[in-house]
Amino acid sequence: MAGILDGKVALITGAGSGIGRATSKIFAREGAKLLIADIVEDAGRETLKIIKDAGATAIFMKVDVSQETAAEAMVAKAVETYGRLDCAFNNAGIEGEGAVTHKCTMANWNRVIAINLTGVWLCMKAEIDQMLKQGGGGAIVNTSSMAGLVGSVGGPAYVAAKHGVAGLTKTAALEYGRHGIRVNAVCPGPIRTPMMQRIMRGSAEAEQRFIRSEPLKRFGEPEEIGEAVAWLCSDHASYVTGVPVPVDGGAFAQ
């Protein structure tokens, strides 16, 4: 039985761990041909091995998404390898340093914005340009966050970047819908990833605070985000565009 992404060419950034790795495995399961990218080469190649061992068609590329030439080269490599680009998951991101607004450093602000916001924009630019050239539409999903929909104490740069991703998503959806290009975002709640572990600093008390705040009373798993991304990139979501989709265990309903 064919998967929901069977035959589609997809690229995934931030594929070395967490949500990116889980989504890469799901895309592979659903039949996509993959270019996976990460700035951490060892982690990216580990993901590549996992999905190739599962029988998928995939290549890896080390990419710094905050560099325009790197984003352009990534898309060019996908097209050189597979002939086209059908869908993309712009997922690469960092949490940055925790600090309230007046203590956020310029260095932290610049780094978080460069990777989490400018990086998404640069990838979108290259992806959309290719989709327009080849015709036939396409689907793009960006990683925003619950912090892209509401405020969060102690992360001004992260929150600003993720709100920016939600806005970019809506704008691009309006601009390119007539070309058949759909653009959506996922807004994960607390997901059990290495990034979340760093944020909690191994504190069981912090974990319980997150869990108590969730209507489902548990953390999400990276695969639960990946399943949503795969659906949004598939033809099953053909009438869905311009939506920052909360995948958050009900937190946004409160």
DSSP readout, 95-106? ------GGG--H
CATH value at residue 135: 3.40.50.720
Whether 197 maps to a domain, the answer reads no
Q: Which helix (H) or strand (E) holds 182?
A: strand 181-188
**Catalytic member of 66, 162, 176, 234:** 162
Angle between helices 119-134 and 156-176 (to 10 degrees): 10
Measure the CA angle with vertex 71, ends 198 and 235; round to 5°: 85
Whether 49 maps to a domain, the answer reads yes
Query: What does the pLDDT average to over 190-200?
Result: 73
Give the model confidence (pLDDT) of 96-106 as tens digits.
Answer: 898 999 999 99
Whether 15 maps to a domain, the answer reads yes
More confident residue, 3 or 215: 3
Whether 47 maps to a domain, the answer reads yes
* Strand ranges of the sheet holding 58-62, from the earlier edge strand across to the other edge: 58-62, 33-38, 9-13, 87-90, 138-143, 181-188, 244-247
Measure the CA angle with vertex 216, ends 196 and 141; round to 5°: 55
Give the model confidence (pLDDT) of 17-70 as tens digits.
Answer: 999 999 999 999 999 999 999 999 999 999 999 999 999 999 999 999 999 999
Whether 208 maps to a domain, the answer reads no
**Catalytic member of 144, 145, 176, 234:** 144
**Catalytic member of 66, 158, 176, 234:** 158
Please indicate whether residue 162 is annotated as part of the active site. Answer: yes
Whether 53 maps to a domain, the answer reads yes
pLDDT at 186: 98
Give the model confidence (pLDDT) of 75-89 as tens digits.
Answer: 999 999 999 999 999
pLDDT at 200: 61
Domain that holds residue 72: 9-191+223-246
Average pLDDT in the chain: 94
Number of structural domains the chain divides into: 1
Residue 132 has pLDDT above 90, yes or no: yes
Please indicate whether residue 170 is annotated as part of the active site. Answer: no
pLDDT at 197: 72
Whether 238 maps to a domain, the answer reads yes
